Structure 1
Amino acid sequence: MFRKLVQLNFVHKRFAGHSKWANIKHIKGAKDAERNVLFTKLARQIRVAVTEGGSSDPKKNLKLVQVIDQCKRFNMPLATLQSVLKSCENDKSNNKAHLIDIKGPGSCMVLCELYTNNLHVVKQSISIQLKKTKSKFADGSGLHMFHEKGIIDAENTNLTSKPLKEQLELATDHAIECNAEEVEILDGNIFQFLCSKQNFPECQKLLENLGYRIVNASVDYIPNKMQEIGPTDLELFEKLMKKLDEMPEVVRLFDNVN
């Protein structure tokens, strides 16, 4: 019903022939690279949270607490986390968070969260990629096609031992108790709860009190309606998303492609 854009680098296993170590080293290197990409994105989210919350002290910044919790779930080293927070304290760049919308190939819509002190220059860089992928800036017309919601992925071993129908019934009761709006069961015995942005922190705490272990939690932009696009446009869309994701100013990307 709803999905988040998470870009991962999928690794095709390479057979090393006579050298087993070469294959292990290749896989480890790819996983390390993927991990570094994840930590880079989390670091950007920390900087946005500090800017918007006005403080690098988690006690004074609820949004920062939420991002730090996410960093811990993904096992970001404490030294890395502290280094990012310290760099935020010393940051004099005057960066600000921005949200722009893009009409992509096949009339799909992309929301791009940026963190920069020069939006004009960044948009010029983005426009180069837009021309190559049959895309253009939507200038605000696409923002109404998304709504901001809290998404919480959680495990509950007490539930997963029960029949699927009973799992969903209990999870639905828990969703009502936690003021969540929807719940569904994903692959891997993960319960995904959808809640309002305002209820997001409280919903996590209540779920934990009910025996859930939070696997992933974030406030994202969810499309009101998904967009079907053809193979040619899909190829252009994927190219556009890859190029945007590689830009250092891009924090997060959201889309409505089915």
Structure 2
Amino acid sequence: MAGHSKWANIKHRKGAQDAKRGKIFTKLIKEITVASKEGGPDVDTNPRLRLAIQNAKGQNMPKDTIERAVNKGQGSDAANYEELTYEGYASNGVAVFVECSTDNINRTVSNVRAIFTKNGGSLGKNGSVEFLFDRKGVFNFPIPEGMDIEELELEMIDGGADDLEIEEERVTVYCAMEEFGNLQNKLESMNIEPETAELQRIPTTSVTLDNEAFQKVMKAIDSLEDDDDVQKVFHNMEITEEQMDLL
């Protein structure tokens, strides 16, 4: 179970995005608002809202900010957001999958296409890169105090996990998308509250680039993440320790 890091896209982005906390809050607020509008304000009957609030708390979002976002979703002036995905290739053949939430589709597709093109890539059709990723649940939390690692691994397997990584006193647990709810319930039964719990797109194959090419692709990815309509960006670059330091 424990071992190599097959998904650098999660870890390295966490550190890089710490400097973008305002942007992170904006995206989390939008997710809370959409979840509240679509499924109601009660976290006990709205698992999407429950998850969104959990992730917001993991980013230390103030309680009153969370409450305002929930209430906004119940208001008559709440925006009608539509969820869209875009797929394409950045420069050097790097596959990129973009998840968006927007109240203006024309604006969003125009911005996303422009970012791809400006940075030497191209926006593709739906399905052009989706097959290069597996959809998995990913949970991240500190190692529970006093818990034996082997015991934790066995509990996670029992809850539906198919991989687990331990690094610097932190645990990252992966599961099939279908097991997301089961693993979430298992963590709750163990009184473990993840700092992040989300569905990620894990690449099945990866591309290795030199530092110059890597920085060019990262410029495009950063531009996508900076767009207010973009919620998440996934790619299939294999990132070295040296390249992480460049960020």
Q: CA, structure 1 residues 75+105, in 2 after alignment: closer, same or farther (shift >3 Å)? A: same
User: Comparing 101-110 with 35-44, which one deviates more in the overlay?
Assistant: 35-44
Which of 225, 228, 237 is matched with 1:257 structurally?
A: 237
Instruction: Provide the residue aligned with 2:159 in structure 1.
Output: 178
Check the 8 A contact 2:72/2:78 in 1, yes or no: no
Cα distance change of structure 1 residues 47 and 221 upon mapping to structure 2, 3 Å threshold = farther
1:192 alignment counterpart: 172
Q: Which amino acid aligns with 1:176?
A: I
The letter of the residue matching 1:245 is: E
Q: Which residue of 1 aligns with 2:80?
A: 94
The equivalent of 2:57 in structure 1 is 72
Kept in 1, the 8 Å contact 2:35–2:73? The answer is no
Letter in 2 for 1:207: L
Shift, 1:98, TM fit = 0.7
Distance 1:7 1:101, change over 3 A: farther
Shift of 1:118: 2.6
- 2:3 corresponds to which residue? none
Take 1:158 and 1:170, find their aligned partners in 2: how far apart are those partners?
Answer: 11
Sequence identity percentage:
21
Contact 1:105–1:234 (8 Å) recurs in 2: no
Q: Is the 8 A contact 2:137 2:175 kept in 1?
A: yes
Pair member with larger Rg = 1
Equivalent AA in structure 1 for residue 221 of structure 2 = M
The match for 1:2 is 7
Using the TM superposition, give the Cα deviation of residue 78 of structure 1 relative to its aligned residue in structure 2, in angstroms. 1.4
User: What does 1:150-229 correspond to in 2, within 5 Å?
Assistant: 150-154=137-141, 155-159=143-147, 167=149, 169-186=150-167, 188-210=168-190, 212-229=192-209
In structure 2, the partner of 1:14 is none
1:138 and 2:118 aligned? no
SS of the aligned residue for 1:94 comes to coil
Corresponding residue of 1:111? 97
CA distance in 1, matches of 2:194, 2:115: 37
How far 1:214 sits from its partner (Å)? 2.4
1:127 to 113, 137, 141: 113
Kept after mapping to 2: 8 A contact 1:111/1:254: yes
Displacement of 1:237 after TM fit? 0.9
What is the root-mean-square deviation of aligned Cα atoms in Å?
2.3
The 1:86–1:151 alpha-carbon spacing in structure 2 relative to 1, beyond 3 Å, is same
State how far apart, in whole Å, the 2-side matches of 1:150 and 1:252 are: 14
Shift of 1:8: 4.7
Cα deviation 1:81-117 (Å, max 9, x = unaligned): 1111222223453221111112111111111111113
Residue number in structure 2 paired with 1:27: none
Partners of 1:237 and 1:191 in 2: CA distance: 28
Contact preservation (8 Å) 1:221, 1:254: yes
Question: Displacement, 1:136?
Answer: 0.7
- Could you tell me the TM-score, scaled by structure 2's length? 0.82
Partner of 1:245: 225
Q: What TM-score do the two structures reach when normalised by structure 1?
A: 0.78
| Count of paired positions | 228
